[in-house]
Amino acid sequence: MNGYGGNILRVNLTTGKIAKEPTPPELARDFLGGRGFGAYFLFQEVPQGADPLGPENKLIISSGPLSGLLIPGAGKCDFACKSPLTGGYAGASLGGHLTAEIKYAGLDSIILEGISPKPVYLFIDDDRIELRDAASLWGKGAITVEKALKDQLGEEFQIACVGPGAENGVRYAHINHDYGRQAGRGGVGTVMGAKKVKALAIRGTRAIPVADLDAYRRAARNLYDACKQSELLKPWQNLGTTMVVSWCDEVGALPTRNFSAGSFEGGKTLYGPVMREQIVVTDKGCFGCPSPCGKYSRTKRYGTNVEGPEYETIGMIGSNLGIANIEDVAQINFLCDEWGVDTISAGGAIAWAMECYEKGILTKAETGGLDLKFGNVEAVLTLIPQIAKREGLGALLAEGTRRAARALGKGSEKFAIEVKGMEQSAYATHSATAMLLAYMTADVGAHHNRAWAITYDLQVGRELVNADKVARVIWLQHIRPMFDTLGACRLQWVELNIDLELYPPALAAITGVERSWRDLELVSERIWNLTRMYWVREVPGFGRAWDMPPQRFYAEPPKTGVTAGKITSLDDVNKLLDLYYEQRGWDANGLPKPETLKRLGLDKLVA
């Protein structure tokens, strides 16, 4: 099949059986690849009510039809499973070089099933596929393990591995790759750890069949030329996502002290140019990327090397914890990477604990003697390993903010900044209604990657609530995740502003199938509704209440910064949801209507 590896690999960890089956052409037609394959296999194959940490859950690792080809940033890999953090759909995207090797090994998806009786790593060298003993790697940090496997197997092998956080069941453990790129959200690493899989090591040497080589070359050149000619390339490459820090601070979107404000008085010390000057050593990019946003840094104070920190990490473990020094943020980032926990969820959980401590809800006896005030760097440096090992207060925070708040009680639930059980990523959404709606309705929980709508809020009026704003959020929720379906980076479109219409000719030349953006949007809408139906199936009583934002955003206006005193009313929150459900073809409780499922060809699949 042109553009595809051609096979699905199943690895039964319980029995040790390894088998390949051809990638079904109708699966490629209806779900394309990447995120689409992950959602399909999860819905079809993981039985209703499966324990996320049990043998019935599956970890589905998928490339897309653009992955591994000469398309800007064609290094995106999708990880899907039932989330141990939320109990619903988990889908996490990983950049780097792994997905290219998956394709070169002749694969489109790798499905990990069952649970291994002992720690293993999955070794793939084209057709040589083995489960190898990982006893000597178990217990070691994710960055350390990646280096050890590269030293042992050779640089050509691409490694994805988990840290102690995943081994110990932290509900937001990540999967590390390329020394600091992560499939971070929803506990995909936790599921890999529960399966006793420490790492994947993959090398492939096969060519990917392409339908029309000349047209492919032309389409690829057009894409790269557009990137090169973009006047936004230089500033983007210089700062990467950290260019957003100062902007967010100025517009009141920088999460500050558990999202109690959107501007940080110490913010300037975290700005991109300061970081570039103080700690960045070099730029770093994913497979085929013409605009590397990765920044590799070295801290003087701690003597550690780390990829990042990127914007989300700066927001969540910098300003959101009241920490104003970029070296400290980089060191906390390094600890999260090595111990194997998601910086966004860890930052959210610690910020919640800090607010509880400052309000006297969490006592010093309960923190194990830690003075958990906002800004206390030493306390955070102590807490990250504690979370990964589930020791002391870390055992509570390892459960994620929603579970931790329910366990602690005493009104602490209203400081839990999460939706559907996932900690909100780094945009303060006081009165920014499109971004608020994007977080409320994202299909994994409060994550920005599905629809980054904050710039649209600023463009049309942040407090505005109308059908056009809702339509924009839905459009973004279809276009942005389509890149995770195709297996390529969306940031050349988002940040360099290259024309979306440059992609369909490339996809057609590669696969031999013409697909317009209208057609691709329809595929995205199909996937969106399938993941929604997964929530409906797995979470008893699922509906509108799961789309409500944290109380803070409609009941507690910030006291400082440019958003001081501003809020989205509860009436407007409900109006946003009403408009959203109507435009999506869902009922008033947020459940897809039968005619919507039929229109998308999902009626039989979800029956």
Q: What is the DSSP letter of 398?
A: T
Residue closer to ligand SF4 by CB (options 311, 581) is: 311
- Minimal distance, residue 506 CB to ligand SF4, in Å: 15
Which is closer to ligand SF4, CB of 75 or CB of 164? Answer: 75
Determine the distance from the C-alpha atom of residue 362 to the mean position of all C-alpha atoms in its chain, rounded to a whole number. Answer: 30
**Between residues 353 and 479, which has the closer beta carbon with respect to ligand SF4?**
479
CA 373 vs. chain centroid, Å, equals: 28
Q: Which two tokens stand for residue 253?
A: 């979107």
Nearer to ligand SF4, 292 or 368 (CB): 292
Contacts with ligand SF4, 228-267, as mask; x by CB under 6 A: ----------------------------------------
Asked if residues 194 and 361 have their Cβ atoms less than 8 Å apart, the reply is no
CA nearest neighbour of 63 among 4, 2, 20: 4
As measured in angstroms, the least distance from the Cβ of 73 to ligand SF4 is 3
Kindly state the smallest distance separating residue 75's Cβ from ligand SF4, in Å: 6
Alpha carbon distance 535, 217 (integer Å): 41
In angstroms, give the least distance from the CB of 287 to ligand SF4: 7
**Phi–psi pair at 495, nearest 5 degrees:** -95, -30
Partner residues linked to 181 by β-bridges: 177
275-304 residues near ligand SF4, rule: CB under 6 A: 285-286, 289, 291-294
Q: Which of 73, 340, 445, 487 lies at the binding interface for ligand SF4 (CB under 6 A)?
A: 73
Of 34, 52, 65, 95, which lies in the binding site for ligand SF4, with binding defined by CB under 6 A? 95
User: Which among 279, 219, 186, 263 is positioned nearest to 71, based on CA atoms?
Assistant: 219
Q: Which of 444, 512, 408, 358 minimizes the C-alpha distance to 3?
A: 512
Give me the torsion for CA of 259, 261, 263, 266, rounded to 10°.
-80
> Nearest approach, Cβ of 230 to ligand SF4 (angstroms)?
12
* Least CB distance to ligand SF4 at residue 344 (A): 16
- Least separation, in Å, of the C-beta of 127 and ligand SF4? 29
Closer residue to ligand SF4 in complex, CB, 283/587: 283
In the complex with ligand SF4, the residue whose CB is nearer, 292 or 375, is 292
Minimum distance from residue 493 beta carbon to ligand SF4 (Å): 10
66 or 379: whose CB is closer to ligand SF4? 66
Residue 556 · residue 563 · CB < 8 Å: no
Please identify, using beta-carbon distances, which residue of 8 and 69 lies nearer to ligand SF4: 69
Q: Could you tell me the two tokens for 593? A: 């209507």
Measured from the CB of residue 235, what is the shortest distance to ligand SF4 in angstroms? 13
Residue 240 or 267: the one with the smaller Cβ distance to ligand SF4 is 240
264 within 8 A of 324, measured Cβ to Cβ: yes
Minimal distance, residue 169 CB to ligand SF4, in Å: 29
Angstrom CA distances, 374 to 59, 257, 601, stand at 36, 7, 50
**Which residue's CB atom is positioned nearest to ligand SF4?**
73
Binding mask 470-499 for ligand SF4 (x = CB under 6 A): -------------------x-x--------
Question: Chain-centre distance of CA 31, in angstroms?
Answer: 20
Virtual torsion, Cα 504, 507, 512, 516, nearest 10 deg = -30
Q: Tell me, what DSSP letter sits at residue 218? A: H
**330: its two tokens:** 């980089």
Nearer to ligand SF4, 96 or 164 (CB): 96
What is the chain's alpha carbon radius of gyration, rounded to the nearest angstrom? 22
Q: Are 187 and 85 in contact (CB under 8 A)?
A: yes
CB 201 within 8 A of CB 123: yes
Beta-carbon contacts of 460 under 8 Å, excluding residues fewer than 6 positions away, are: 468, 469
Please give the helix or strand (H or E) that residue 22 lies within, else none. strand 18-22
Q: How far is the CB of 292 from ligand SF4 (least distance, A)?
A: 5
Beta strand pairing status for 181-183 and 175-177? Answer: antiparallel
| x/- map, 3-42, ligand SF4, by CB under 6 A | ----------------------------------------
Residues touching ligand SF4: how many (CB under 6 A)?
12
Interaction between residue 55 and ligand SF4 (CB under 6 A): no
Smaller CB distance to ligand SF4: residue 75 or 141?
75
Task: For the segment 414-443, give every residue that binds ligand SF4 (CB under 6 A).
Answer: none
Rounded to a whole number of angstroms, the minimum distance from the CB of residue 507 to ligand SF4 is 17
H or E segment to which residue 176 belongs? strand 175-177
- Of 486 and 591, the one with the shorter C-beta distance to ligand SF4 is 486
Query: Which residues sit at the interface with ligand SF4, rule CB under 6 A?
Result: 73, 75, 95, 285-286, 289, 291-294, 489, 491
